Every structure is written in structure tokens, then in C-alpha cells.
Structure 1
Amino acid sequence: MQWTREALREFPFSIVLWVTRQIEILISNESPDFWSWRKGVFRFNTKKTAAVPKTEFEPFRSLVEEDDREPPSLIPLEDLQDLIARTEQKKGLQDPSLASLYASMGKIYYRRIKSGECENFQQEYELAIEYFKKAIALQQELDVELALSSSLNYLAGLYYFQGRYSEAEPLYLQALEIGRRSLPEDHPSLATHLNNLAELYRSQSRYSEAEPLYLQAVEIDRRSLP
């Protein structure tokens, strides 16, 4: 970069460097002299991306330590898909580690859909459903109820977004049943299950069914939260 600055000192035209926000931060931190040479910065904001922070992929969280002063380490979605494909090929489709991998990918796509970051909504929506279905199948076999309850809620949420209420309802009911069986009666997650189901009923104008669920959720939160 310094060589480029010196070599182009007499260049009679404007030079535009088109870089990602991550690279911009690295340039300003690591090459302050080069950065000071700029005449202006134009920022083009977009949420759409084909990569996610490594810390967002749950199996990597304990392995990655992020420095707040640096931009987040990103990993392409294709690399995560490839990791899952290689795990399936090497360990078989029933390997317990896949339950976590499937759920993590489903949550990534779920968040991208809700935040507007997905590049192809329909494709990522279908991938989210596919990964949660795979996670649920394995979690049921492994009898990991709390993880299963979470995946059921996410999958139901995807159906809810699309107005597929008849598909969402049995999943919310199953997640609520697991929560009542596995969690203390005043656990905040149980309130979340109740609220999710109540929201579904409210969206269908089934107010008499939604109201008692909302009331139960409020009561739990009053007991369990500050």
C-alpha cells in the first residue's frame, strides 16, 4: 500500500478502492499512513451477505475469541455447508454431532431471514426448514429434549412467518409440552413457549385461546424476572 501511494503520487486521475467494511477497518488500523492519504470515504450499506461471523456458528463459539477492536472473523456459508457435508460423509447421518450442526445452520438462516441479510430469500428459507427438520429427527432419536424444544420453536416460527399456521401449531404445542415436562414451572423459557403459541392464535383471531396463554406467560415472567 505504501509503495502504491508513492508510485501513484503523480497519477493525474482519482483512484477508487472498493473494499468491504472489514477491510476498511483493517486498512485504517494497520496502514494509518496510507489511510491518511484518502480524500474521502463513501459507504454503501447493505445487510445482504454470503458470510457470517464465526462466533454465530455455535460449534465454533468456544474455539474463537473475538477482539472488540477488530472486525469480526467471517466464514462463508458455503464453508459451513461443506463442513456438514463432510461430517455426514465421514461419520454417517446418525452421528450425534450433526444434531448441533444442523440446528446451528438452521438458526443462522432463521436470523438472516428475519434481519433481511439473505441473498435469496426463498432458497435460504427452504434451507432453514431442511436443517431444522434434520436436527429435530436426530434430537428425537438422541432424546435431548431441551434442544429438541428449541428446534421445534424455530421451525414453527418459519412456518408462522409464511402464514402456514396449521403446520406451525403442532410444533409449538409439542415444544410447550416438552417445556412443561422438562423445565421448572416458573422458567422464563416456558413463558416464551406460551407466548409463541398465543401469538399464533392471535394471528388467527383465536383470542379466547390466546388470552389464557398470554396470562400464564405474564405470570411466569412476574415470578421469574426482575
Structure 2
Amino acid sequence: MQALEQRKRLLVEKHPSGATSLNNLAGLYYYQGRYDQVEELLGEALGQRKRLLVEKHSPVVTSLNNLAELCYDQGEELLVEALGQRKRLLVEKHPSIAISLNNLASLYDFLGRHDEAEPLYLQALVLFKHLLEIYPEC
């Protein structure tokens, strides 16, 4: 909280690192079960990143993904957007794409949409296997 307050005071909410503090605090609150505060902080971080960065900038996509994981009711739209942005921004076989594929598949699985989840899980699995061949120490 102190880091966030100092960043807000020093950067006057005009620098993306303030959104990083919001995101980190939201992570802490998530593990503490303070979900009502998590959604507010993630939404604020996303808004700040969208305001300060190019819409397709990687931290904006990360904020979309984090918020989507929390908000299952809006999650599909946000996860699809995050996956699309990552596919446009990153190299074809980037680990973040595998993570986005897996996150969207998990949402579909949770919602009982198993036929939609399976191909995404399979794509993520192929990509993770490829990455492990390249980086076996992971």
C-alpha cells in the first residue's frame, strides 16, 4: 500500500508503474480472499494502462488477462481479447500465448463448454511441449 501511495503521489498517476503497483496489490488481496477489492484494483490498473499506454501494449494485455481470470462473467470477452492481442504482439510460439490459450480453455471448461475447451487445451499443450523442447530447464 505504501509503494502504491508513494507512486501515486510521485508520479501523479501519469506513469505505468502505478498500474504495476495496483496489479501487485490486487494479487496480494486475491490470495487473502479480498475479492471485492481485487476487481476494483485490477480494473483501475487496466484503465490506467489503457490511458497511458498504446492499447495493444503488453502490460495492457496482461491487465486484461488478470481481470478476466477474476471476472468469469465477463471473462470470455476479455480472455479472447487478451489472446488475440498476444497473438498479434508476440512471436508465434511465445509462452504467454500458451498461457492465454490455457486460460480461455479453463474458462470454457469451468462453464461446461468442454467441446470448446478441448481444442484450446490441445493447442496450449502443443505449444508448452515445444517450449520445453527448446528450454528443457523450465
Q: Could you tell me the TM-score, scaled by structure 2's length?
A: 0.81
Which deviations, in whole Å up to 9, do the C-alpha atoms of 1:88-112 show, x marking residues without a partner? 64xxx5x2x2x22113322332243
Q: Is the 8 A contact 2:3 2:21 kept in 1?
A: no
Unmatched runs of 5 consecutive residues or more in structure 1: 1-76, 160-164
Alpha-carbon distance in 2 for matches of 1:100, 1:138: 13
Residue 170 (structure 1) aligns with: 77
Shift of 1:138: 2.3
Aligned-residue CA RMSD (Å): 2.2
From 103, 110, 125, the equivalent of 2:38 is: 125
Alignment CA distance shift 1:174-1:144 (3 Å): closer
Residue 62 of structure 2 corresponds to residue 150 of structure 1: yes
State the 4+ residue runs in structure 1 displaced beyond 6 angstroms: none
Shift of 1:223: 1.0
Alpha-carbon distance in 2 for matches of 1:203, 1:123: 21
From 109, 134, 156, the equivalent of 2:26 is: 109
Q: Aligned letter for 1:124? A: Q
Alignment CA distance shift 1:209-1:122 (3 Å): closer
Larger radius of gyration: 1
Alpha-carbon distance in 2 for matches of 1:101, 1:126: 16
Q: Is the 8 A contact 1:135 1:151 kept in 2?
A: no
Q: Which has the higher contact order (CA 8 A, sep 6+)?
A: 2
Residue 48 (structure 2) aligns with: 135
Give the 3-state SS of the residue equivalent to 1:142 in structure 2: coil
Q: Could you tell me the TM-score, scaled by structure 1's length?
A: 0.52
Residue 25 (structure 1) aligns with: none
Q: Aligned letter for 2:66? A: Y
From 104, 126, 138, the equivalent of 1:197 is: 104
1:40-79 alignment, distance < 5 Å: 77=1, 79=2
Which deviations, in whole Å up to 9, do the C-alpha atoms of 1:20-59 show, x marking residues without a partner? xxxxxxxxxxxxxxxxxxxxxxxxxxxxxxxxxxxxxxxx
Unmatched runs of 5 consecutive residues or more in structure 2: none
Identity %: 31
